[in-house]
């Protein structure tokens, strides 16, 4: 059940990254591969979300808690599910940004020193 929560947060960034021309350059997925992977990914995420929601509903309906506790847990649980779905939607519909280098492009001092030693 825990992996059902985590899957979209790994899968969506991976699909967005591999289908982004800015980040992948010439290694970007083709339009057909991108469409196929998004369809498969959405299908898997839909099944997982269905599993999470139905498990939570079964837990509420078949528990031996007092009615007040069931209502309170239901309100908190469905609010959590709404936040979870909103965060997945944010990942899916977020715009890609320009690629930024991880390391500054300034020359490293040890390489500069080696080059100056060779020229002397």
pLDDT digit string (tens) for 100-114? 665 555 556 666 666
| Tokens (6 digits) for 75 | 């309100």
DSSP 8-state code for residue 19 = T
CA distance 57 to 49: 12
* Distance (Å, whole) CA 28 – CA 17: 9
pTM beyond 0.85: the answer is no
Q: Decide if pLDDT at 120 tops 60.
A: no
pLDDT at 36 over 90: yes
- Rounded distance, CA 29 to CA 34, Å? 6
How far apart are the C-alpha atoms of 70 and 58, rounded to whole Å? 11
């Amino acid at each position: 059940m825990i992996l059902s929560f985590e899957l979209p947060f790994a899968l969506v960034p991976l699909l967005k990254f591999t289908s982004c021309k800015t980040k992948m350059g010439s290694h970007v997925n083709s339009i057909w591969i991108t469409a196929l992977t998004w369809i498969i990914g959405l299908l898997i995420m839909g099944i997982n979300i269905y599993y999470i929601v139905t498990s939570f509903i079964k837990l509420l309906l078949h528990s031996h808690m007092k009615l007040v506790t069931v209502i309170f847990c239901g309100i908190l649980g469905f609010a959590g599910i709404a936040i979870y779905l909103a965060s997945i939607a944010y990942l899916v519909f977020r715009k890609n940004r320009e690629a930024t280098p991880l390391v500054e492009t300034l020359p490293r001092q040890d390489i500069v020193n080696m080059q100056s030693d060779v020229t002397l």
